[in-house]
Structure 1
Amino acid sequence: MRQTAVRLSKTYTPMIKFVGGRHPLLQHSGSATPHPCTMDGILPGSKECEPAGDFHSKLKPFEVVPYKTNKSAQKGAGAKTGSNYTFTSRPLKENEVDSIFDLPTRFQLRPFAEAEIDSINAGGAL
């Protein structure tokens, strides 16, 4: 008497059917071609190609420059609030607004619907 598992394994056919035959395995040639996005057609490993370590060693690190304020302005209104920045009043330039209510209609917030307000006030469960 044969076992059931052995009998099932012999009669099993996979549900996936692959169309066509096997795909051919591509053989890459030893000659490298430049990537289409490289500058001047530089090949990897050529004398024009700079190693990543050398490239990164020549980069200058990002430098944070402190904001400088006027000492006389800091003694005035800025010293009361503890801010190092000074406000300079100037006229508005073209396409600048001083309030969100002056924005064009397409950029303004739409008012909330009553049903949405009730849903928010109820904790989201209605």
Structure 2
Amino acid sequence: MRATFALRNAARTPLIRFIGRRSVPQSIDHTPRPHPASPSGVLPDSFAAYRSKAQQHGPLGRASFSQGIGRSSGASLGPVQPKQGEFFDRDELPSRFHRLPWSEAEIEAIETGGASLCA
């Protein structure tokens, strides 16, 4: 018997059954509303007003680029110092947190993809 031929000719019946007829609501309110979790609870006046205040990896407006970003060098902004208890690199921490040196066995295992551990 050719099972594929029999399966192609079989009528497809859906596994889900709906109760009742389809009904489309007669009146749907499509007026824009603020999201229930929005911090302000109000809609912006316009998209342009929203975009002028929005942030995505920095200001989105064109005017903000000309006002200060890139106009002066980083050195003129002053020194960058970590806050109390913050560190920029692991080497600034106490010695128990420093990176450990690699052993020859670890280097060999990495270079051979772990095959040297099984041989």
TM range (shorter): 0.3 to 0.5
Normalising by structure 1, we get a TM-score of 0.39
Larger Rg: 1
Q: Which has the higher contact order (CA 8 A, sep 6+)?
A: 1
